[in-house]
Structure 1
Amino acid sequence: MIYTITFNPALDYIVRLDHLKTGTINRTEQEYILGGGKGINVSIVLKNLGMDTTALGFIAGFTGQEIVRQLNSFGVRENFIRLREGLTRINVKVKASDEETEINGRGPIVSNFELQELYTQLNSLTADDTLILAGSIPSSLPSNMYEIIMERLANKGIRIVVDATKDLLTRVLPYKPFLIKPNNHELSEIFGIPLNTTEDLINAAHTLQSRGAQHVLISMAGDGAILVAANGTVYTSPAPSGTLINSVGAGDSMVAGFMTGYTKTGDLQESLYWGIAAGSASAYSENLATLPEVEKLLKGIKG
C-alpha cells in the first residue's frame, strides 16, 4: 500500500476572470472548488493510475468533509483524523488574464492528542508499504515533523518519499529517504547558488546523496527530468510536447507516476518515464493526470 500524508489540506476556491480590479466588485467567468494538498494530489493520481493508496492527515469541519467527498468520488481510500475543532482551510486563487493572486488560509490547530492518533496509524505500516511525505507543515505542529516521523519508522524498512523544500527536505536526509524530488529551482535555493546546467544539477544530487538521500528525482518543467539513482547512475527523460494549462499538481503527479512505474516494474528508467508522463499529463490539463493521458504520453516519450 502507498500512503500519503497531507498535514495541511485545503479546499482551493479557484476563480477566473478577465481582469482583477481591487477596491471594487469583480465578477467571475469561471469558478470551481477542488480539494488540494500535495499528498492528496499524489493519492488521486496514484488511484487514477490504478494503484492502491490511502490518504492520511488531518481534516476539520464541513470543508474537510468536502475533501473526503471529492476523494471518494475518485475512489481514493482515506483515513483522515477528524479534528474536534476548527475548519480545514480554504485557499482563494484568483486567475486573471494579466495576473494571479492567492490568499491561503491558516488551517485548524492540531492537538497533541490528535497527533498521537497519527503516530498510532503509522505504527501499523510495514516493509511492504510506501509512505509519501509531501507539502508544508502547519504552524500548530513541530517544524521538524518529517524528521520525527522518519525517526519513528527508521527500523521498519518502509520506503519513504519526501517532496518538500529547503530545510524541510535537507533535515530528513540523515534518515535515508528512498526518494526525494526537488525541482531545479528548489535545488538552487538549497545550495544558495544558480544551478544552470545538467552537470550542476547532477553534482547537487550527488551532494544530497552524500548526506543520506537514496534516489534523487529532479524535475525541470519543460526541460524534462533527471534521476540520479542510489548507485550513481544518471537517467534522463525529455518532457513530451504539449501546451501548459495548469502547473498546479504537476510535481505531485510526477511523484505518483514515478512510484507507479517503480511498483509496476522496479526499473528506474521506466519509473522516470512514468513520472515525467504523469507530471506532463497534469500540466497539460485542467485536471490531474489520468491513465489514458499518461499512457498516450508514454508512447511519445519512448518513441
Structure 2
Amino acid sequence: MIYTVTFNPSLDYIVSVEDFKLGITNRTSSELMLPGGKGINVSTVLGNLGIENTALGFAAGFTGEEIIRQVEHMGIRSDFIMVPDGISRINLKLKSIDGTEINGCGPEISEAAVAELMEKLEVLGEEDVLVLAGSIPSSMPDDIYRRILKRLQGRGVTAVVDATKDLLLNVLEYRPFLVKPNNHELGEIFQVELWDRKSVVSYARKLQEMGAQNVLVSMAGEGAVLAAQNGTVYETPAPEGTLVNGVGAGDSMVAGFLAGWMEKQDFRHAFYMGVSAGSASAFSERLATREEIKHIYVQMTGK
C-alpha cells in the first residue's frame, strides 16, 4: 500500500481574472476549487492511474471537512486526523498570472496530534510506500520528517520525500528511496544556480552521496533529470505542450515515477512515466488522467 502524508492540506481556489488590476474590484472569468497539498496531489494522480493508496494528514474546521469530502469523492481512501484549533488552509491560485498565489497558514498541530499520526504509521512495513511531501505548519517540530523515518527504520518501508532544505536534508541519513527537488530547490541546498540539465547532474549525485538512493529533479520547461541508484543518469527535455496550470506538476511527477517503478522496477520506464505525468498535469486544467499520461509517454518514448 502507498500512503501519502500531507501535513498542511488546503482547498485550492484556482481562478482566472481577465486583465487583473491592483486597487480595484476584479471579477473571475473561471473558478475551480480542489483539495490541495503535495501529498494529496500525489494520491490523486496515483488514483487516476488506478493505484490504490491512502491519504493521511491533518485537517481542521469546515475547510478540513471539505478537503476530506472531496478526497473521498475522488475515490481515494483517507485517514486524516481532525484537529480542534484553527481551520485548514484556503490557497488562492491566480491562474491568469502564472506563479501568483496567496497561501494560508494552516491550523495549530499539537504534540498529541503528532503522536496520533505516529500511531497510524505503525502499521507500515515491507512492501509499503510512504510519501512525505510538502511544507509543515509552523506549530509542528521542524524535524518531523526525520522523526518519522527514524521510527520506521528497519521495517522495509520505501520512503519518498518531496520537501525543501532542512526537511529534506534531515532525512538523508535514512536513505530514502526517492527524493524530488526541483532545480531551484537543489541549487538552494548547495547555494548555486542551476539552469540546465547538465549542471544539475553533479548536484543530484551529491544528494546520493549524502544518502538518497534516487534523485529526481524537475525543471519545468527544461525537462527533468534522474540520478538513479544503478549509477545511470537519465535526462530529457520537456515534451511539447502548452502550460495551462503548473500547480501539482511536480507532485504528479512523483506519482508517475512511483507508478512506473511499481509496474516494471525499471528506472527508465519510471523516469518517463514521471515526466509524462508531470507534463500532463501542467498541460491540463486538473491533475493528469491516465489517458493524458499515456499519450505523452507514447510521444516521448515511441511506445
TM bracket (short chain): over 0.9
User: Does 1:203 pair with 2:194?
Assistant: no
Amino acid at match of 2:8: N
Inter-partner Cα distance in structure 2 for 1:24 and 1:195 = 38
Structure 2: any 5+ residue segments left out of the alignment?
none
| 1:156 equivalent in structure 2 | 155
User: Does 1:22 pair with 2:51?
Assistant: no
| 1:106 equivalent in structure 2 | 105
Q: After superposing the two structures, state which structure 1 stretch, 25-34 or 279-288, moved more.
A: 25-34
Q: Deviations over 1:224-245 (max 9, x none)?
A: 2211111321122342211111
Inter-partner Cα distance in structure 2 for 1:48 and 1:236 = 25
Cα deviation for residue 95 of structure 1 reads 4.0
| 1:229 equivalent in structure 2 | 228
Cα deviation for residue 187 of structure 1 reads 1.4
**Helix, strand or coil at the partner of 1:79:** strand
**CA separation of 1:235 and 1:101: change in aligned 2, threshold 3 A:** closer
User: Does 1:135 pair with 2:134?
Assistant: yes
User: Does 1:9 pair with 2:37?
Assistant: no
Q: After superposing the two structures, state which structure 1 stretch, 197-206 or 210-219, moved more.
A: 197-206
**Helix, strand or coil at the partner of 1:12:** strand
Q: After superposing the two structures, state which structure 1 stretch, 17-26 or 262-271, moved more.
A: 17-26
TM-score (norm 1): 0.95
Q: After superposing the two structures, state which structure 1 stretch, 273-282 or 183-192, moved more.
A: 183-192
Q: Is the 8 A contact 2:197 2:235 kept in 1?
A: no
Inter-partner Cα distance in structure 1 for 2:95 and 2:299 = 31
Inter-partner Cα distance in structure 2 for 1:202 and 1:94 = 33
Q: Is the 8 A contact 1:278 1:294 kept in 2?
A: yes
Q: Is the 8 A contact 1:282 1:288 kept in 2?
A: yes
Q: Is the 8 A contact 2:259 2:273 kept in 1?
A: yes
| 1:277 equivalent in structure 2 | 276
| 2:266 equivalent in structure 1 | 267
Inter-partner Cα distance in structure 2 for 1:153 and 1:218 = 25
**CA separation of 1:101 and 1:179: change in aligned 2, threshold 3 A:** closer
What does residue range 180-259 of structure 1 map to in structure 2 within 5 Å?
Answer: 180-259=179-258
**How many residues matched?**
302
**Helix, strand or coil at the partner of 1:124:** coil
Q: After superposing the two structures, state which structure 1 stretch, 121-130 or 14-23, moved more.
A: 14-23
Q: Is the 8 A contact 1:238 1:301 kept in 2?
A: no
Cα deviation for residue 183 of structure 1 reads 1.4
Inter-partner Cα distance in structure 2 for 1:137 and 1:194 = 25
Cα deviation for residue 202 of structure 1 reads 1.3
| 2:124 equivalent in structure 1 | 125
| 1:71 equivalent in structure 2 | 71
Q: Deviations over 1:14-51 (max 9, x none)?
A: 22211333333222212221111000000000000011
Q: Deviations over 1:160-202 (max 9, x none)?
A: 0001112221221111110001111211111111234434311
TM-score (norm 2): 0.95
Q: After superposing the two structures, state which structure 1 stretch, 21-30 or 199-208, moved more.
A: 21-30
Amino acid at match of 1:77: R
**CA separation of 1:216 and 1:296: change in aligned 2, threshold 3 A:** same
Inter-partner Cα distance in structure 1 for 2:67 and 2:250 = 20
**CA separation of 1:101 and 1:233: change in aligned 2, threshold 3 A:** closer
**CA separation of 1:195 and 1:26: change in aligned 2, threshold 3 A:** closer
**Helix, strand or coil at the partner of 2:58:** strand
Determine what percentage of the aligned residue pairs are the same residue: 55
Q: Is the 8 A contact 1:237 1:301 kept in 2?
A: no
Structure 1: any 5+ residue segments left out of the alignment?
none
Q: After superposing the two structures, state which structure 1 stretch, 287-296 or 221-230, moved more.
A: 221-230
RMSD: 1.5
